[in-house]
Chains A and B, each alone.
Chain A
Amino acid sequence: MEISLNTPAATLAEIGTIVDKAHVELHKCYQCGKCTAGCPMADSMDITPREVIRHLQLGLLAEVLRCEAVWVCASCHTCSARCPNEVDVAHLMEVLRQEAKKRNITPVPDVDKFARIFISNIRSFGKSHEVVLCASYNVWSGHLFQDVMTFPHLVMNKLVFFKPHVVKDKTAVRRIMDKALKGADKA
Chain B
Amino acid sequence: MKYSYFPGCAMKGAGKAYDFSIKYVTKKIGMELLEIDDWNCCGATAAHSTSADLALGLNARTLALAEAQYPDLEIAVPCAACYSALRSALFSARSSKEKLAKIQDLIEMPYEGKNEVISFLETFSRPDAMKAITENVVKPLGGLKVACYYGCLTSRPAKIAGPDDVENPMQMDDIVALTGAISVDWAFKTECCGGAHHVSYQKGAVPLVDRILRNAQANGAEAIATACPLCCLNLDMRQGELNKKNGTDYNIPIYYFTELLAMSMGATPKEVGVEKHFFPALSLMEKYLVKGGSAV
Taking beta carbons and an 8 Å cutoff, which residues of A are in contact with B?
40-41, 43-44, 71-72, 74-78, 80-81, 88, 90, 94, 97-98, 101, 108, 110-111, 113-116, 118-119, 121-122, 125-130, 133-134, 137, 141, 146-147, 150, 153-154, 157-161, 165, 167-169, 172-173, 175-177, 179-181, 184-185, 187
Contacts and interface: CB of A to CB of B under 8 A. Distances in A.
A176 B39 CA distance: 14
Contact of A159 (B16, B47, B53, B199): B16
A72 B201 contact: yes
B14 A94 contact: no
Contacts of A153: 278
Nearest to B155: A81
A173 B195 CA distance: 25
A31 to B, nearest CB: 22
Q: Which 3 A-B pairs have the closest CB atoms?
A: A76-B192, A118-B46, A114-B200
B13 interface: yes
Interface residues of B, number: 57
B143 interface: no
20 contacts: A40-B208, A76-B152, A80-B156, A80-B157, A81-B158, A81-B167, A94-B49, A108-B201, A118-B43, A121-B41, A122-B43, A127-B9, A146-B199, A147-B199, A150-B278, A161-B12, A167-B38, A169-B38, A177-B57, A184-B53
Interface of B: 9-10, 12-14, 16, 38-41, 43-54, 56-58, 61, 106-108, 152, 156-158, 166-167, 190-192, 194-197, 199-205, 207-208, 211, 237, 273, 275-276, 278
A98 B152 contact: no
B195 A159 contact: no
Contacts, number: 177
A146 B206 CA distance: 13
Contacts of B200: 110-111, 113-115, 137, 141
B199 A114 contact: yes
A80 B10 CA distance: 27
Identify which of B9, B106, B194 gathers the most chain A CB atoms within 10 Å of its CB: B9
Contacts of A80: 156-157
Determine chain A's interface SS by DSSP, over half rule: helix
Nearest to A176: B57
Contacts of B16: 157-159
Contact of A81 (B40, B157, B195, B201): B157
A173 B38 CA distance: 10
Contact of B40 (A77, A147, A159, A173): A173
